[in-house]
Structure 1
Amino acid sequence: MNGKIYCSLCGMENYPLLKYCDNCGKLLKTNRITPEPVYDTFNDVLIHNKYRILKTNITEDTYNKIIENIERIILMNLNFHSNETCLFRVYKLVQQFSRFYYDNQKNTYVYFSGDNIFYNDKISETEKICKLLHELASHLYSEIFEQILMYIFNSKKNTYIEAFVTLLSAKNSCYILSKEYLACVSENYFTRNLMNNYLFVVNIIQERNMDTVVAKKMCMLGNTVADDVIKILDRFIPEQFREEIQEQAFNDNIEHVSMSMCDVKKISNSEKIDLIKAMIEFSYSALSENSKDIMDINRFIEDFKMINRN
């Protein structure tokens, strides 16, 4: 990445996505980052940035700094109090990335749409905690991809980046499967396998007719990146709140659900980064050959522009 950001207090060069100086802790003036160009359509983004997508190297150090930066984003406006319930803590965590809306339709639980989260207020407190944790983990996976693209493009977050990751969530089978597996693993970690249900993972593999080897590799990717998501959230949901989830499940008469997936190992950090980068490269290259996807992504861009205006 060519953009550099220097601390106005100590002068140290910092990673451009950081909010605070690594050396002295001062708030960084992010307008020192090279300003992003203005594009009329995503076709312009494709033309001007394809080389960056293909040639920018993502090192383990860069990836780790991205994980640290996401944790900083959560910390910036987050204030917990000692008397708060686990559910309220999870609400606050989700609110760092989205706005809440009620959707009490039948069979609706919790789901993200853009930067908004919709949830059914009529389900039990235990189900709310589990579903919110699941969707939060899923959203953090998308956040990792967005921050990697910010690094590649030398840019702040914008509607083009958000729209591209939204397209991945809608169309890319590898992304969809790895994200769902990650969300299951992360949820199970904090709820102690309270709803250990991988049915949606199995459905994705079957409905998308995925190759067995590819599907297993994507589950391994999700299992590995789940460690990063858990690392981000672990400090905010300590052991006492995991105990509270179990107590709440007992009060809500929630039975443990068990549908495990066997023999899903983890991969190395270097392979994890290579797979993420390959997923981005493949989808980015495929866009230039698919007019329907270009139409979809331009629609997503307009949707995000509208959301950001509200």
Structure 2
Amino acid sequence: MISTDKAITSLDQLLTRDNLNHIANADFTVDDYQMILKEIYDESVENLTLDKNISALENIKRIAYQHVNIYFSEKEISSGYYIYNKIYLNNNLSEAQQIVTIIHELTHHIYAEIFEKWLYKLFNVREKFLVESVVMFMLNNSIENRIADEYLSYIVEGRFTPPECQNYLSFLQLLIELNINVEKSKSFFIFAHEISHDIDDILKPIITDKLKQCIAKQFVVDDIDKLYQKLTFDYCDERFDEVEKVEFMQEMLYFIFDYFINGEGNINDLEHYIQGFDNSLMFVE
């Protein structure tokens, strides 16, 4: 994949017809995608030190800090949320619940980072928050994109949660709230399931079996309810191959550029995202 040489410093320079055509004609390859995943993994382990003498929660925080900052939210939230490279947690959660919430929200970040790295491969963007803003808008612009993002985050969270304690009630409520036609959105669920494996492959060597055992013990200590829930659909066995997965991501990026260039999108709609990223203070509480 060849990036355009011209330096991009504004949304007007990024969201152009020429760049839309560049996305359409670019050679998105599986090798490019594997390189992106490796870059994210390398960033995840660079200078990372886990300590068997501290709690599972503190080790999970160390893993998350490789990518994001963590704060306790002053808002009334059920568990937590992710925005502008930050994870906000409900301070009243048990340690076990904080662990899976961090993993869930970190998955949102890694998923967004995958698309950001595609755009960096395509374009010579000088201002990071331009790319971050476009990707955040894309992942929230349609109910299909939103539900795919949530679906894969719940799947990844579940893989590090003791099976008997997996809880997907919030996701099922979201399906109802967004009035999702699961059959109509089938391709997004299949795609999300594929991406969940890729993010799982990034996290599994870091959240080792030993750390997973510590997480499981924390669930016992915190006496978390055993609900024995599973998140499955009729077509869970259907798969995208690697080429189809990469093509799906290319189509998503093309669609969001087309939305602003030929559709109803207004670049001004991205301004509050830009302000959120640009004004984001990078410190840890």
TM > 0.5: yes
Select 2:53's aligned residue among 64, 74, 83.
83
The structural deviation recorded for 1:69 is 0.4
Matched positions, count: 279
Select 2:250's aligned residue among 277, 293, 297.
277
Is 1:64 aligned to residue 34 of structure 2? Answer: yes
Is 1:294 aligned to residue 267 of structure 2? Answer: yes
1:227 equivalent in structure 2: 197
Is 1:246 aligned to residue 235 of structure 2? Answer: no
The CA distance in 2 between the partners of 1:165 and 1:129, in whole Å, is 26
- DSSP 3-state at the match of 2:137: helix
The CA distance in 1 between the partners of 2:232 and 2:150, in whole Å, is 13
Which deviations, in whole Å up to 9, do the C-alpha atoms of 1:133-182 show, x marking residues without a partner? 11111211111111111112144671111001110232122221111111
The CA distance in 1 between the partners of 2:158 and 2:135, in whole Å, is 25
Superposed, which structure 2 residues align to 1:111-126 within 5 Å? 111-126=81-96
* TM-score after normalising by structure 1: 0.81
The CA distance in 1 between the partners of 2:65 and 2:188, in whole Å, is 28
Please say if residues 101 and 119 of structure 1, whose CA atoms lie closer than 8 Å, have aligned partners that are also in contact. yes
User: Which ranges in structure 1 are unaligned for 5 or more consecutive residues?
Assistant: 4-32
The structural deviation recorded for 1:34 is 5.5
Return the letter of the residue paired with 2:12. N
Rate the CA distance shift 1:122–1:207 in 2: closer, same or farther, 3 A. closer
Select 1:73's aligned residue among 18, 43, 47.
43
The CA distance in 2 between the partners of 1:251 and 1:115, in whole Å, is 30
Rate the CA distance shift 1:307–1:240 in 2: closer, same or farther, 3 A. same
Which deviations, in whole Å up to 9, do the C-alpha atoms of 1:221-262 show, x marking residues without a partner? 111111110111111111112111221111111012325323
Return the letter of the residue paired with 2:68. S
Is 1:53 aligned to residue 26 of structure 2? Answer: no
The CA distance in 2 between the partners of 1:271 and 1:206, in whole Å, is 29
The CA distance in 1 between the partners of 2:266 and 2:113, in whole Å, is 21
The CA distance in 2 between the partners of 1:280 and 1:304, in whole Å, is 20
Please say if residues 146 and 157 of structure 1, whose CA atoms lie closer than 8 Å, have aligned partners that are also in contact. no
Rate the CA distance shift 1:73–1:36 in 2: closer, same or farther, 3 A. farther
Please say if residues 125 and 131 of structure 2, whose CA atoms lie closer than 8 Å, have aligned partners that are also in contact. no
2:2 equivalent in structure 1: 2
The CA distance in 1 between the partners of 2:97 and 2:280, in whole Å, is 28
Return the letter of the residue paired with 2:110. L
The CA distance in 1 between the partners of 2:144 and 2:205, in whole Å, is 29
The CA distance in 1 between the partners of 2:207 and 2:218, in whole Å, is 15
2:107 equivalent in structure 1: 137
The CA distance in 2 between the partners of 1:195 and 1:150, in whole Å, is 39
User: Which ranges in structure 2 are unaligned for 5 or more consecutive residues?
Assistant: none
Rate the CA distance shift 1:211–1:232 in 2: closer, same or farther, 3 A. same
Rate the CA distance shift 1:46–1:272 in 2: closer, same or farther, 3 A. same
The CA distance in 1 between the partners of 2:20 and 2:87, in whole Å, is 32
* TM-score after normalising by structure 2: 0.88
Which structure exhibits the higher relative contact order, with contacts defined as CA atoms closer than 8 Å and separated by 6 or more residues?
2
